[in-house]
Structure 1
Amino acid sequence: MAPFGLMTVGANFLARSWGVFSSAVTVRCSCFAPTLKSFSTSTGGPPKRPLTAYLRYVKEQQPIVVRQNPDIKAVDIVRKIAQQWRTLTPEDKQPFEEASIAAREQYRIDMKAYQDQLTPAQSAAIAEEKRQKKAKRRAIRKKRELNSLGKPKRPRTAFNVFMAEHFEEAKGSTMPGKMKSLFEDWKSLSISQKQIYTQLAEDDKVRYKNEMKAWEEHMTELGREDLVRRKESRRKKAATKKGKKKSRVKVLKAKAPVKKTAGKKTASAEPKKPSSTKK
C-alpha cells in the first residue's frame, strides 16, 4: 500500500488542480484499459505524462464520492479517496497498476517519436526551458523558506512608498491602469514633494538594516549560516586572492630578470675558445 504521507501530498495536489477531473459522469475502471494512441507531432508539444495507479483510482472515484457527499470540501473528498485506496487489496489495485504500466510504456514510445522529430535547435530550446523552470522552482522554494523563517522585507523605494500611499485613490480600474496613473502622478511631483518619500525610503533602509542584523544573528544561532550574508568576508577573500595574485606576479617578475642576467654574465665570463679553422 502507498504510504499515507505520499497519498496526502497527492491529495493536496489534486485538490489544487481540481479542474482536471470531470464531475459530469461516473467513470468506470474499464475506461482505463490500455489503449495505444498514435502520437501526432502536429500538436507541437510533448506527450503528457501518464497517471499513476493511485491517481487513476482517484480520477475514477472522484465523481462517485462527490455524488455521495455533495456538501464536503474538495480536500476532504480527496482525503476520503486516499483512505479508500489504503484499504484496497492488491487484487483490487491490480487493474489500475496494469493500466499505469501500459500507459508508461506508451508514453515512452510517444516521447521517443516526439524527440526524434525535433531539430537540434528545438532540442536545445526545450533543454533551456527546462533549466529555467527548474531554476524558477528552486527560487520559489527558497523564497518560501525565507518567508517561513521570517526574513525581513526589503526596503521600499521612494516611488514604492508613494504608490502604497496613493494606490486606492489612483485612476484606473485595472492594475496596469493604476500603475500608469501613479507613475504619471509621480513624475509630476516637484523635487520638494518627492523629498518626503525619499526620506521615508531612507528610514526604511535603516529599518531593513537593523532587522536584517537581528535576523542573521538568529539564523546563526539556529545553525543556518548559509542564509547569512557574507559581504565582508567575500570582500576579504577577494582582497586576499588579489594580494596573492600580485605577490605571485612580483615573484615571477623578480625571478625572470635574474635568470636572464645570470645567463648573460656566464656567457661573457666564459673565455672564447680558439677557432679550429685550418690555416
Structure 2
Amino acid sequence: MMAPFSLMSVGANLLVKSLGLFSSVSVVRCSCVAPVLKCFSTSTGGPPKRPLTGYMAYVKEMHPTTTRQNPGVKNVEIVRKIALQWKMLTPEQKQPFQNASLASREQYKLDLEKYKAQLTPEQTAALAVEKRQKLAKRKAIKKKKELNSLGKPKRPRTAFNIFMSEHYEEAKGTNTQTKMKSLRDDWVRFSAAQKQMYIQLAEDDKVRYKNEIKSWEDHMVEIGREDLVRRKAKRVIRAKTTKDTKKKSKITVLKAKAPKKMTGTAVKKTAKSTK
C-alpha cells in the first residue's frame, strides 16, 4: 500500500528546499517590501531555516542512497519509495529521527528569537506584511482547489483569450513573454471584421457560463454550501425564499378564515332554532 499522497507531496516539495540538491538558506522574499529589506537579508544572514520533521529528516538521510540504487528514476518516485520505507518502520526505528526533529525545533525557536531581536521596527513591519500576504495566498490556493473539486464552472473567456489559445503555438517568439507580445500586436492589427468571430465566441461563452454557474450555485445551496454562492445570487435566492414563505403564510391565513361546512344535523338544528 502506497503512502498517502499528501505525505508524498510534502516530501517532494520539501526535497527542493532541504536536501543537498536544495536551495541555500531561505531568505526573506517579497517584492512589495523589497525597499525595506533590500540590504537586510544580506546583513543579517536571513531568518533561521525551519527544522525538518522526523519524516523529512529520514528522507534527507535516505535520498542519496535510494537515488544511487535507482538510477534514472524520477525524483517523485524516489520520494514515494522512501515514504513507503518510512511507513514500514517500527516506532522504535522512527524515534531517533523524531528526537532529532524535536531538538532542532527547540534550537529553531532560540535562533528565531535572536533573529527577531536584531530587526528594526520597519523590518518587523515588513515581515508582518509578507506573512499576511503568504497566508492570503495559501488561502486563495486552498479555496481554488476546493472549488475545482466541487466542479465550479470556468469563467467565460474574452475574445482575446480565445484568439490567443488558437494561435499561441504558431505565435512568433521563443518564450511565453515574446509569444504574448506577438499575439497582442497581431490582435491590435486585426480589423473589426476579423475580431468579430472571436467576439461572438466570447458572447457564446458568457451564455454557457451563465447557465452553468446558475445550475452549480443551485446545487451548492442544496448541499449546504451557500457560502460559495455569489452575493448577487444569494440575494435572489433569499428573495425567492422570502416570497415563497409569505405566499405559504397567506394561504394558511386564508384557510384559517374560511368558514366550516355545516353537517346535515347542524343545518336542521339551525332551521329549528329560526322557527
TM-score when normalising by structure 1: 0.67
In the TM superposition, 1:14-25 aligns within 5 A as: 14-19=11-16, 20-22=18-20
The residue number in structure 2 matching 1:258 is none
In the TM superposition, 1:1-279 aligns within 5 A as: 9-19=6-16, 20-22=18-20, 42-70=43-71, 74-89=75-90, 91-231=92-232, 233-234=234-235
1:101 Cα deviation from its structure 2 partner: 2.8
Q: State the superposition RMSD in angstroms.
A: 2.9
1:44 Cα deviation from its structure 2 partner: 4.1
1:180 Cα deviation from its structure 2 partner: 1.1
Q: 1:16 to 1:50 in 2, by over 3 A?
A: closer
Q: 1:164 to 1:93 in 2, by over 3 A?
A: closer
CA distance in structure 2 between the aligned counterparts of 1:232 and 1:68, rounded to whole angstroms: 58
CA distance in structure 2 between the aligned counterparts of 1:97 and 1:232, rounded to whole angstroms: 50
1:238-258 Cα offsets, whole Å, 9 max, x none, are: xxxxxxxxxxxxxxxxxxxxx
The letter of the residue matching 2:118 is: Q
1:43 Cα deviation from its structure 2 partner: 4.3
Residues paired across the two proteins, number: 217
1:46-96 Cα offsets, whole Å, 9 max, x none, are: 101111223212211222333334465544543443444445455544433
Q: Please say if residues 41 and 114 of structure 1, whose CA atoms lie closer than 8 Å, have aligned partners that are also in contact.
A: no
CA distance in structure 1 between the aligned counterparts of 2:5 and 2:199, rounded to whole angstroms: 49
CA distance in structure 1 between the aligned counterparts of 2:95 and 2:220, rounded to whole angstroms: 49
TM-score when normalising by structure 2: 0.68
* Corresponding residue SS for 1:132: helix
Q: 1:215 to 1:60 in 2, by over 3 A?
A: same
* Corresponding residue SS for 1:153: coil
* Corresponding residue SS for 1:49: coil
The letter of the residue matching 2:12 is: A
1:98 Cα deviation from its structure 2 partner: 3.5
Larger deviation, residues 60-69 vs 85-94: 85-94
The letter of the residue matching 1:102 is: A
CA distance in structure 2 between the aligned counterparts of 1:149 and 1:45, rounded to whole angstroms: 40
1:192-223 Cα offsets, whole Å, 9 max, x none, are: 33233222211111111011112222223333
The residue number in structure 2 matching 1:273 is none
1:104 Cα deviation from its structure 2 partner: 1.9
CA distance in structure 1 between the aligned counterparts of 2:122 and 2:236, rounded to whole angstroms: 41
Q: 1:175 to 1:67 in 2, by over 3 A?
A: closer
* Corresponding residue SS for 1:147: helix
Larger deviation, residues 157-166 vs 66-75: 66-75
Q: 1:83 to 1:183 in 2, by over 3 A?
A: closer
Q: Please say if residues 8 and 82 of structure 1, whose CA atoms lie closer than 8 Å, have aligned partners that are also in contact.
A: no
CA distance in structure 1 between the aligned counterparts of 2:104 and 2:70, rounded to whole angstroms: 31
Q: Please say if residues 58 and 78 of structure 1, whose CA atoms lie closer than 8 Å, have aligned partners that are also in contact.
A: yes
The letter of the residue matching 2:6 is: V
Identical amino acids, percent of aligned pairs: 63
Q: Please say if residues 161 and 201 of structure 1, whose CA atoms lie closer than 8 Å, have aligned partners that are also in contact.
A: yes
1:112 Cα deviation from its structure 2 partner: 0.9
